[in-house]
Amino acid sequence: MGVVSRWIQDRIPLDAGRLRELTNEPVPNHLKRWWFCLGGTPAYLFVIQIFTGIMLAFYYQPSPRTAYESVAYITDEAAFGWYLRSMHKWAATFMVAAVILHQMRVYFTGAYRKPRELNWMVGMLLLICTLTIGFTGYSLVYEQLSFWGASVGANIAESVPVVGPLVKNMMLAGESYNDRTLPRFFIMHAAILPIVMIVLLFIHITLIRIQGVTEFGATEEEKKKTFNFFPDHLYTEIIMGLSLMIILSALATVLPAEMGPRADPLTTPEVIKPEWFFYVMFRWLKLFSGTVAVISSGFIVFVMFLWPFIDGAIRKYTRAKEASVWIGILGVLAIIALTVWEASVAH
Amino acid sequence: MTGRNDEAGRAPDAGPEERRGFLGKVSGLAMSIGLIGGYGAFGAVAARYLYPAKADPKSWFFVAVLREFEVGSSIAYRAPSGARINITRRGVGESLADFSALSSTCPHLGCQVHWEAVNERYFCPCHNGAFDHEGKAIAGPPAEAGQRLSTFPLKIEKGVLYIEVPTAELAQVELADEVPTGPGQDPCLFQRFPTREV
Ligand code: HEM
Ligand code: FES
């Protein structure tokens, strides 16, 4: 043992061999199938978001008087500001897409069933956090659509029975959008939600380590084959990650994030659209009156949350063992239909 | 744990043991109440700190002298926040029922409506809400919920009309008068109300 490692061993008596054993869990071979990596993709993107987000926060100023100008500064003047901002934006888009795809793979492989019900619920919380962080981030730019998105979002919260007005006041720091609103969105976006997500991810991954990954469709032989987490799986992830960075960089260069018109609280733009992943919600809002739309979407989220137990009951008390597949297909088709509908019309 | 068992072994009569169990429970309960109360107080302070300190302040402002306000005409009133309020005189009388002050904020989810002269309606671009000239919803989610454009309180004193509006100013009121440009912005739509100013 060298002098340095002896010196460290004397003070921190950690056994390197044991440490390797702890972290070096064998990974089942079927994780080499790409669709089982969809959970690792949002995790990698999350790291990109933390890095680029911290960079953006060096210049961003959360107040209605300065927010738009500071983002314009990042985009037009700060060296490589356009690149970091565009990476943050594209990685956010990819992250939402990856989380949705990951959830679909978990759903359609039945991986949420016993004993993984609780991890599905943790996953649902991660989905909600991901969408909320997307929403608050979009509001920070203080473009027209940022402003109106935030106002409409707060008013949606207000139409929730009983607690609505309280939630709206907490969101906006007042009855309507004011000078104290943007700092709230910023703190949510850059501090509270990331911390909550790190905690949730930790629980999520701990549960995966305890329960193991499901082995959907794997043959007996395949089940026995494993490979090492370290270095094999880690290297794979790092290489995949670099490819992802290259794709994101290409997108950031070809389609960089731009600046829309500055927020004007007195004029709602003639065509108003949220980010693509809220198109479903937005179309839903046009179809029903406020309260009906809010209560029904709350109910749908609630059902998704408790789905492992609902599915369990269906399988126990009816003969429709694979009902979840058909319900899932219908759900996905409905989501695609509403999204395409919203995307294809102005109003 | 073992100590307790030993003692119980020595005294077959469970009296003191039971009492000790009871006292243990009481002190445990007292401890939990203290801890919850203490940390709860910190939580409550934080929550109260985050809740806005006071409701947005409002105040009464002059609108017009009644005898100069023609029946059927409208005033495009601007609140300090910059919000546009359409104040109309409906009748010849001088009671509040003869006036209305229509807000341009959609009752559905708070977007700004604008007057569409061709369709004779206020239109909300957010979810396709529409309202007639009196503010009653005629299409879209607001109509489904039976809503109407909200009104601001008015009062008449000595032949003068006043309106009560929020006094807070928004940061970009100055900017709002520049004709906005860029996608989603139509300078022609900047004409918000059927203004026939007096
Ligand atoms: C930030 C978002 C998320 C991250 C970073 C993440 C990460 C991961 C990772 C790395 C795995 C390992 C297996 C795999 O690669 O598929 C996994 C599994 C799992 N995830 Fe997620 N996840 C996220 C969101 C979600 C969501 C939205 C759900 C569903 C509501 C969910 C439910 C699950 C469940 C139940 C498993 C265990 C599945 C199995 O063992 O096969 N996760 N997640
Ligand atoms: S906000 Fe006006 S229709 Fe929804």
Q: B35 and B66: one domain? A: no
Q: What is the pLDDT of residue A261?
A: 92
With cut-offs at 50, 70 and 90, classify the pLDDT of residue B1: very low
The proportion of chain A whose per-residue pLDDT surpasses 70, expressed as a percent, equals: 89
Is A19 a member of any domain? no
Q: A95 and A44: one domain? A: yes
Number of Cβ within 10 Å of residue A109's Cβ equals: 16
Q: What is the CATH number of the domain that holds B187?
A: 2.102.10.10
Q: What is the pLDDT of residue A213?
A: 74
**Closest ligand to the CA of B110:** 2
Give yes or no for B127 touching A (CB within 8 A).
Answer: yes
Q: A225 and A153: one domain? A: yes
Please say whether the dihedral angle defined by the alpha carbons of residues A14, A204, A220 and A231, taken in this order, is positive or negative: negative
For ligand 2, is residue B142 a contact (CB within 6 Å)?
Answer: yes
Is A118 a member of any domain? yes
With cut-offs at 50, 70 and 90, classify the pLDDT of residue A59: very high
Contact B172 A175 (CB under 8 A): no
Last residue of a domain, one of A243, A269, A295: A269
Q: B108 and B187: one domain? A: yes
pLDDT over 90 (residue A308)? yes
Which residue range forms the structural domain that includes residue A323? 274-347
Instruction: Enter the tokens of residue B53.
Output: 């300190």
Q: A242 and A288: one domain? A: no
CA distance A177 to chain B (A): 9
Q: From chain A, pick out residues whose CB is under 8 angstroms from the CB of B171.
A: 63-65, 179
Taking the complete model, does pTM exceed 0.90, yes or no? no
Q: From chain A, pick out residues whose CB is under 8 angstroms from the CB of B141.
A: 285-286, 288-290, 293
Distance, CA of B99 to chain centre:
23
Last residue of a domain, one of A223, A240, A269: A269
Is A6 a member of any domain? no
Q: A231 and A155: one domain? A: yes
B110: nearest CA partner in chain A: A152
Q: A305 and A176: one domain? A: no
Is A9 a member of any domain? no
Distance, CA of B112 to chain centre:
14
Total domains in the fold of chain A: 2
Is B175 a member of any domain? yes
Q: Which residue has the higher pLDDT, B73 or A299?
A: A299
CA distance A95 to chain B (A): 27
What confidence tens digit (pLDDT) does each residue in A318-339 have?
A: 888 888 999 999 999 999 999 9
What confidence tens digit (pLDDT) does each residue in B83-135 have?
A: 788 888 888 888 888 888 988 888 888 888 888 878 888 899 888 899 988 88
Q: A62 and A199: one domain? A: yes
Q: What is the pLDDT of residue B174?
A: 46
Q: A234 and A337: one domain? A: no
Mutate to test the interface with A, among B172, B175, B188 (most CBs of A within 10 A): B172
Q: B69 and B166: one domain? A: yes
For ligand 2, is residue B109 a contact (CB within 6 Å)?
Answer: yes
Ligand 2 pocket mutation pick from B103, B124, B147 by most atoms within 8 angstroms of CB = B124
- Dist. CA A171 → ligand 2 center (Å): 19
What confidence tens digit (pLDDT) does each residue in A31-54 have?
A: 666 556 666 788 889 999 999 999
What confidence tens digit (pLDDT) does each residue in B36-90 have?
A: 999 999 999 999 999 988 777 888 999 888 888 888 888 888 888 777 888 888 8
Q: B101 and B42: one domain? A: no
A109 vs A214: CA distance, rounded Å? 8
Mutate to test the interface with B, among A142, A160, A268 (most CBs of B within 10 A): A268
Q: A199 and A301: one domain? A: no
Q: A296 and A246: one domain? A: no
Contact A270 B145 (CB under 8 A): no
Q: A173 and A242: one domain? A: yes
Q: What is the CATH number of the domain that holds A170?
A: 1.20.810.10
Q: What is the pLDDT of residue A253?
A: 95
Is B5 a member of any domain? no
Q: What is the pLDDT of residue A36?
A: 61
pLDDT over 70 (residue A103)? yes
Q: B67 and B123: one domain? A: yes
pLDDT over 50 (residue A224)? yes
With cut-offs at 50, 70 and 90, classify the pLDDT of residue A24: low
**Closest ligand to the CA of A200:** 1
What confidence tens digit (pLDDT) does each residue in A120-160 have?
A: 999 999 999 999 999 999 999 999 999 999 998 898 888 88
Mutate to test the interface with A, among B56, B111, B175 (most CBs of A within 10 A): B111
Contact A176 B175 (CB under 8 A): no
**Mean pLDDT of all residues belonging to chain A:** 88
Q: What is the CATH number of the domain that holds A286?
A: 1.10.287
Q: Which residue has the higher pLDDT, B137 or B179?
A: B137
Q: What is the pLDDT of residue A23?
A: 66
Is A20 a member of any domain? no
Q: B65 and B148: one domain? A: yes
Q: What is the 3-state secondary structure (H, E, C) of chain A?
A: CCHHHHHHHHHCCCCHHHHHHHHCCEEEHHHHCHHHHCCHHHHHHHHHHHHHHHHHHCCCCCCCCCHHHHHHHHHHCCCCHHHHHHHHHHHHHHHHHHHHHHHHHHHHCCCCCCCCHHHHHHHHHHHHHHHHHHHHHHHHCCEHHHHHHHHHHHHHHHCCCCCHHHHHHHHHCCCCCCCCHHHHHHHHHHHHHHHHHHHHHHHHHHHHHHHCCCCCCCCHHHHHCEEEHHHHHHHHHHHHHHHHHHHHHHHHHHCCCCCCCECCCCCCCCCCCCCHHHHHHHHHHHHCCHHHHHHHHHHHHHHHHCHHHHHHHHHHHCCCCCHHHHHHHHHHHHHHHHHHHHHHCCC
Q: B99 and B156: one domain? A: yes
For ligand 2, is residue B107 a contact (CB within 6 Å)?
Answer: no
Q: What is the pLDDT of residue B182?
A: 39
Contact B126 A174 (CB under 8 A): no
Q: A213 and A329: one domain? A: no
Is B177 a member of any domain? yes
Is B88 a member of any domain? yes
Last residue of a domain, one of A211, A239, A269: A269
Q: A211 and A68: one domain? A: yes
Q: Is residue B150 classed as helix, strand or coil in its secondary structure?
A: coil
pLDDT over 70 (residue A81)? yes
Contact B172 A262 (CB under 8 A): yes
Q: From chain B, pick out residues whose CB is under 8 angstroms from the CB of A293.
A: 141
Q: B36 and B128: one domain? A: no
Q: B69 and B98: one domain? A: yes
Total domains in the fold of chain B: 2
Say which of B51, B112, B181 has its CB closest to residue A266: B112
The least confident of A176-180, A288-292, B23-27, B36-40 is A288-292
Is A62 a member of any domain? yes
Give the contacts of A110 (CB within 8 A, at least 6 positions apart).
A214, A216, A324
The least confident of A179-183, B19-23, B60-64 is B19-23
B97 vs B7: CA distance, rounded Å? 86
pLDDT over 80 (residue A296)? yes
End-to-end CA separation in angstroms for chain A? 71
A148 vs B108: CA distance, rounded Å? 13
Contact B111 A180 (CB under 8 A): no
- In this structure, the residue with its CA closest to atom 1 of ligand 2 is B109
Q: B34 and B124: one domain? A: no
The least confident of A191-200, B6-15, B103-112 is B6-15
∠ CA A196-A305-A274, rounded to 5°: 70
Which residue range forms the structural domain that includes residue B169? 58-197
Say which of A261, A289, A293 has its CB closest to residue B180: A261
- In this structure, the residue with its CA closest to atom 9 of ligand 1 is A39
Is B120 a member of any domain? yes
∠ CA B134-B137-B142, rounded to 5°: 145
ipTM at complex level: 0.75
Q: B45 and B133: one domain? A: no
